[in-house]
A = this chain, B = another copy of it.
Amino acid sequence: MNAEMLKGHLDTVILATLERGAAHGYAVIEEIRRRSGGHFDLPEGTVYPALHRLELAGLLASDWVDPPAGRRKRVYALTAAGRDALGERRTGWAEFARAVGAFLEPGSA
């Protein structure tokens, strides 16, 4: 499954991934792959622009971190607004999933 299906929900998934703690972009990709059981294997060209978008929207904040070894990492964390947005998106997803389910579940009226 690629992320085309995620259209409109990728931001939600990214916010939820960062809910447990800050992480850099590459780690976000790996965590999404891990937590989705391999369903969402997102290319960098999908995730990095999404992170920038979310930061521009004020839902994430980033800091450059210079580790003793390895190259610089840009670490993203949820802002207060990001946490609020995640709450709304959680509710929105539940409604959405229920509505779509109403079409796909047999015996629905």
Contact = CB atoms under 8 A, between A and B. Distances in A.
Nearest to A93: B104
Nearest to A14: B103
A102 B16 CA distance: 10
Interface residues on A, range: 20 to 34
A89 to B, nearest CB: 8
Q: How many copies does the complex hold?
A: 2
Contacts of A108: 35
19 contacts: A1-B96, A1-B99, A4-B8, A5-B9, A5-B92, A5-B96, A6-B8, A6-B100, A7-B7, A17-B103, A32-B103, A36-B102, A36-B103, A37-B99, A39-B95, A39-B96, A39-B99, A40-B99, A94-B104
